[in-house]
Amino acid sequence: MSRAFVTGLKGTVLSADERAFLAEAAPWGLILFRRNVEDPDQLRRLTGDFREAVGWSAPVLVDQEGGRVQRLTAPHWRKYPSGRRLAGAAALAGDVTLVADVAHLIGDDLAAVGIDVDCAPCLDIATPDMTPAIGDRSYGERPDLVAAAGRAFADGLKAAGLLPVIKHVPGHGRARVDSHHELPVVEADLDSLAATDFMPFAALADLPAAMTAHLVYTAIDPDRPATQSPVVIEEIIRGRIGFDGLLFSDDLSMNALKGTIAERARATLAAGCDIALHCSGDMAEMVAVAAETPELVGKAAARAERALKGRAGSPHDDADGVLARLDAALAAYDATV
């Protein structure tokens, strides 16, 4: 039986200590970062060794959006454009399937090395003073266009057999500071949030997985960030937005959250997140998170099982054609900005 957390690892090979930890702590999944990636052969070994250690075909996650957030990158993998640039180029070219086709190729890259969950698309609405931590990861300022691009990206990942994770619910676009370093506070009223920030998540609420935002929304819960707020999770994410899929926290290691790693894990799961995400690869922290994390049971286990049933797909049948369309669309788009 797996525990309700996803762990990181320190490097590019599984150490003896990490192997023993995985076998004993039984995390539900693994998340990878650039520190874990050298080349395709190494990555296939690492994902295989992880699954061997936990004893089942456990999910392996990565953030592979394109642009600044791309853990598998050159020289072994193509560098893809940011969400804003991809959506803008597709719209200018009138190429209605380009976003989905590019996401399918990204999914193919991941599937080939044993990764089956992509923490994308990013459904945050762009605002004039938003933190650069979101920036061009956002598809744009209009909720309807963000929802359409996000849907296309998620569909492309699913066609490749990847589980998409929409983020950062219920919306990170109004944050003015980087939640990796400090806690953003959003003071917009509930009606404004519902009319903008929440809309793409509501439009894609049928998707099987989502990731929370480490933000305080003063109109909803002025005391706790969304990740650790039962009010935000139950009344907004599960209620108003209508999302009933598997809910991951954002990284527990981020400085927007207060307290020890153990306290952060406890508060996150108590608030209603199904899976606590811990990314640092620090063994002492990994042990502390595991100690606070129960087995994945009940509704959370059912959501996890439902999400993993969607991992079935096949490689795109015209990758060269997609890349040619992408290059042409980007050239035209870049000439206008």
pLDDT of residue 1: 86
Distance CA 330, CA 333 (A): 5
Torsion of CA 138, 256, 58, 153, to 10 degrees: -10
Single-letter residue type at 223: D
Per-residue pLDDT tens digits for 48-80:
999 999 999 999 999 999 999 999 999 999 999
Residues labelled catalytic: 180, 250
Measured distance CA(91)–CA(6) in Å, rounded: 36
- What tokens does 163 get? 């589980």
Beta strands in 67-156 (DSSP E): 69-70, 117-118
From 249, 246, 234, 247, select the one nearest 303 (Cα to Cα). Answer: 246
3-state secondary structure of 64: strand
Quick one: tokens of 31? 């998340």
What pLDDT, in 10s, does the model give residues 120-137? Answer: 999 999 999 999 999 999
pTM over 0.95: yes
Q: Looking at the DSSP assignment, which residues form a beta bridge with residue 3? A: 27, 295
Q: Which pLDDT belongs to residue 107?
A: 98
pLDDT category of residue 178 using cuts at 50, 70 and 90: confident
- Using CA atoms, how far residue 307 sits from 86, 109, 194, 299, 311, in Å, is 26, 20, 26, 12, 8
Please tell me the predicted confidence (pLDDT) of residue 197.
97
Give me the CATH topology for the region 3-27+61-334: TIM Barrel (3.20.20)
What's the one-letter identity of residue 312?
A
The pLDDT confidence band at residue 110, using thresholds 50, 70 and 90, is: very high
Distance CA 33, CA 22 (A): 18
pLDDT tens figures, 316-328: 999 999 999 999 9
pLDDT digits (tens, 9 = 90+) for 249-274: 999 999 999 999 999 999 999 999 99
Q: Is the peptide bond before 170 cis (omega within 30 degrees of 0)?
A: yes
Q: How many CB atoms lie within 10 A of CB 12?
A: 15
pLDDT at 310 over 90: no
pLDDT tens sequence across 196-222: 999 999 999 999 999 999 999 999 999
Amino acid at 153: F
337: pLDDT strictly greater than 90: no
274 near 247, Cβ under 8 Å?
yes
Which residues lie below 8 Å from residue 320, measured CB to CB, with a gap of 6+? none
